[in-house]
Structure 1
């Protein structure tokens, strides 16, 4: 029995040794609103670019000033790091003419990858008239953009049900989306079931898991309520009594992320997108361990 266990361990360790250069990573940032936050952004960009990500993405604000900041940050990140950068683009509060102008501007300036999203409506008093599907079609009409869209393993908070949410993703893919990046999650089995459902329904693109390394559990609970993301009971127990101990919380957050990625990797997942909140400490530690093939 001991020999069999040893053989399994050796096989497992060999599989881990094969991880290097087989995991593709990407990172999301947001445009900073002040000088202090801008320092955090560039510190994180510089540190995470060393990990050779496939791309960075930059979120898109709800007004023209923040949109301009998105383009400025995208341009500067690309110039500083040489890494491909994908701006987020939303359609909820812009006309087709405005969106086409932005898309043409991006294409003219060498930006080929766009994350196409509906965007959040500040006042939920009117029925949504435009969706990410419309934006995907518009972008493809302008040029042959490489398009990422959002996916929701635990169902979008505004979706009628899981099937309608899945069919909405399929329509985006049929319109030309090249990959989907999921909302963050902590239930690996939920993601795997969702990926299987995508495949069964003809959604034959990468469904890249969105990974949210935990910096602050209280903030995570706030985000999870807004996004319909379930936090497993074991996580509540792990962070119990640590509200004022951020360093320990970060270590536990790293542990949880690494274990999630291990499980996903051995289920065939090779691409991971990290929501950074413009922070790099926990994420760098997680990715460094993965790239060094040490678990």
Structure 2
């Protein structure tokens, strides 16, 4: 079996303590020789300056830093300034997203869809940036149908996306079905599964509701059965996520993107399990 490659997602910390924790997490996960570390971009670009700072810090430490960039409330001038700044810093890979409106703000800027952002970056920077986009094996919660969702994904690919990272899922069949549907549409870019470690049921349920991911009924009941025994819940979660990744590996998946939530302990245990 070919060795797997990994990438890890961080969010910009809000406190000095959070910054120190992220540095430790970065150091601990670096032993797995990741392809890159990505940094999220808050709703409506609310963490833009912090994102830039974390990206610069990761790059200064000698790692491949990949900023997220969302466009839903941005103007073309704002996006142009941002991608020019990243280009000047030697950043050559971006995760291009539509993003969510920040709370209390409605409406769009100059971009309505992630495909608009991808097309704009391609038009203005050519092939300089490797562009990742989001994919939804269980379909975007705002999509009217699975067919519309796939068409929207193809629009992003046709606009110039190089690869995609999926939203998290717990049913591997949903991932493989999505890959099959993409192949029928002649979509051939790499589609990397996004992996969400299990930290606690309330947090996981909130994430799933927001992005449209399904927590299978049996899994939800199993997690709820642990009650306040977080340690046992997480040990179960490590085994479950390890098995999910191993199943993907068995069917030829070679790259994984972990939503770390700026934590390294659980992710490290999963990686050790699937790398042995």
TM-score with structure 2 length normalisation? 0.94
- Report whether the alignment pairs 1:32 with 2:32: no
Q: Which runs of 5+ in 2 are unaligned?
A: none
The residue number in structure 1 matching 2:184 is 200
**What displacement does 1:116 show?**
0.2
| Match of residue 13 from structure 1 | none
Instruction: Please provide the CA RMSD for this pair.
Output: 1.6
Aligned to 1:52: 33
Q: Describe the shift of the 1:65–1:238 C-alpha distance in structure 2 as closer, same or farther (beyond 3 A).
A: closer
**1:61 deviation in Å?**
2.1
CA distance in 1, matches of 2:158, 2:63: 28
Please tell me whether residue 79 in structure 1 is matched to residue 60 in structure 2. yes
Greater mean alpha carbon deviation, residues 240-249 or residues 46-55: 240-249
Deviates more, 1:242-251 or 1:200-209: 242-251
Bigger-Rg structure (1/2):
1
The alignment of Structure 1 onto Structure 2 pairs a total of residues equal to: 272
TM-score by length of 1: 0.88
Report how far residue 63 of structure 1 moved.
5.7
Q: 2:44·2:99 contact (CA, 8 Å) conserved in 1? A: no
Q: Deviations over 1:174-205 (max 9, x none)?
A: 11100010000101001110011011111111
Contact 2:150 2:182 in 1 (8 A): yes
Deviation at 1:99, TM superposition (A): 0.3
Q: 1:173 touches 1:203 (CA, 8 Å); kept in 2? A: yes
Q: How does 1:221-236 map to 2 (within 5 A)?
A: 221-236=205-220
> Is structure 2 residue 119 aligned with structure 1 residue 137?
yes
Per mean C-alpha deviation after superposition, the further-off stretch among 268-277 and 234-243 is 234-243
Cα offset, 1:95, TM superposition: 0.5
Query: Counterpart of 1:8?
Result: none
Mean Cα deviation higher: 220-229 or 236-245: 236-245
Q: CA deviation at 1:222?
A: 1.5
How far does residue 56 in structure 1 lie from its aligned partner after superposition? 0.8
Partner of 1:7: none
2:235 corresponds in structure 1 to: 251
The structure 2 residue matched to 1:91, chosen from 43, 54, 71, is: 71
CA distance in 2, matches of 1:83, 1:35: 21
Query: Offset of 1:290 from its aligned partner?
Result: 2.0
Point out 4+ residue stretches in structure 1 off by more than 3 angstroms.
62-65, 122-129
Where does the alignment leave 5 or more consecutive residues of structure 1 unmatched? 1-17
